[in-house]
Amino acid sequence: MKFNLSLRLKVTFINTIVLILCSVILTIGTSLSAVRSIDLLSQFSPTESAASTIPSIPNKNNMLKDATVIEAKSLTQATSVAKGNIVMTSTFCMIVVIILGGIITYLTTKKSLEGVKNLSDEIKDISEHNLSKKIKEEGADDEIKDLTKSFNNMLSRIEDAFESQKQFSANVAHELRTPLAVIQMKIDVFKKRKEYTIEDYEKLIEIVEKNNNRLSKVVEELLSICNKDEIERSDKIKFSKILKSITDELKEVASNKNIDISIVEDIDGNRKEFYGNEQLLYRALYNLIENSIKYNNENGYVKIYLKEDNNFINIDIEDSGIGIKKEDYENIFKPFYRVDKSRSRKIGGSGLGLSIVKTVIQQHNGTIGVESNEFGSKFTIKIPYK
């Protein structure tokens, strides 16, 4: 059977055990010392010594010797009684000290643990509805105050994560609801018409297909972000080949805005072989380069710098685009975050691209950062060899 003791009782129990051990050791030591002292004194008793030195004289001397012997026996009996009294008194005092010590410990721990009890009571009042509530940091600078500070910091992190999750859920609902609402609206309008032409059917199918593709893309991107498990890194990666393939694929998109794309390589011929997930890396770099084109200015440029050494793969993607504010550096990697919502909606996209990029880079134990000004932005990727 398991007993759930309060912290106060546990502290009292531990202190009482320590007190018992100390009292037992002290009592045994004191009693042994006193008994040995009495034994030592009895060995040098003057009456016993006198009885052994009385000369053999008839009559009166014999009576004196008998009296001395009786007195020596009485002293021995008194010594035994004294020993017993010492042991009993020491044991009694030990028991009294243990009982009083336990009671005093129990009473004093109430005050000592009052801060823990107050902290526990305040924690019980906190739920998912009042995460902003903070615990008062009162009292001396002790462990309890440190615990209170740590708990308040944890509450702040939980609140931020909770709000981020709510925002994420709202954004997901919006992204999924919008194309569904468009489809439903077109179907409702279509049903109200009495006559239909082939063009009407084709237009409806086109709208349904377009929004269905949008839904599929959002779901696919959400799955990519949510997949935090360790990935398979068995593909031998040639970054120069991947970048060349991406730029070729996006060349037509860039030409529509007269944007020049170039790749600058600085590759060591004796470099190590890099292994990773080619499909994920291709998608991440594609998203990043595509964004550099989308948010670029007319007649601009996108320069891609590739450098491979013995320890890291370094990829810098620099553009002459609209730039990013410094306060948005961290936020742009969050799901659904848009620097300019009106422009992002006009250009298209779900707002998940950079979040996917960061997730893929982190899955390869790498890092991604950004620097920007009014003349453009520069994304820096650094991935270590496996």
Residue 69: which pLDDT band, with cuts at 50, 70 and 90?
Answer: low
Query: For 172-211, how does the pLDDT look when each residue is reduced to its tens digit (9 = 90+)?
Result: 776 677 778 878 888 888 888 878 788 888 888 888 888 8
Neighbour-count burial of 29, counting CB atoms closer than 10 A to its CB (0-12 exposed, 13-18 middle, 19+ buried) = exposed
Q: Are 190 and 200 in contact (CB under 8 A)?
A: yes
* Strands 312-319 and 376-384, bridge-based pairing: antiparallel
Q: Are 54 and 65 in contact (CB under 8 A)?
A: yes
User: Tokens 């032409």 belong to which residue?
Assistant: 197
User: Residue 300: its pLDDT value, please?
Assistant: 93
Name which of 36-45, 58-67, 122-131, 324-333 the model is least confident about: 58-67
pLDDT of residue 109: 77
Poorest-pLDDT segment among 63-72, 167-176, 241-250: 63-72
Structure confidence by residue, pLDDT tens digits, 141-175: 677 778 888 888 888 888 877 777 776 677 677 66
Q: What is the pLDDT of residue 54?
A: 46
Q: What tokens were used for 153?
A: 């910091």
Go through the domains of the chain in sequence order and give each one's CATH number: 7-45+70-122 (no CATH), 157-226 (1.10.287.130), 235-384 (3.30.565.10)
Strands 301-308 and 260-267: parallel
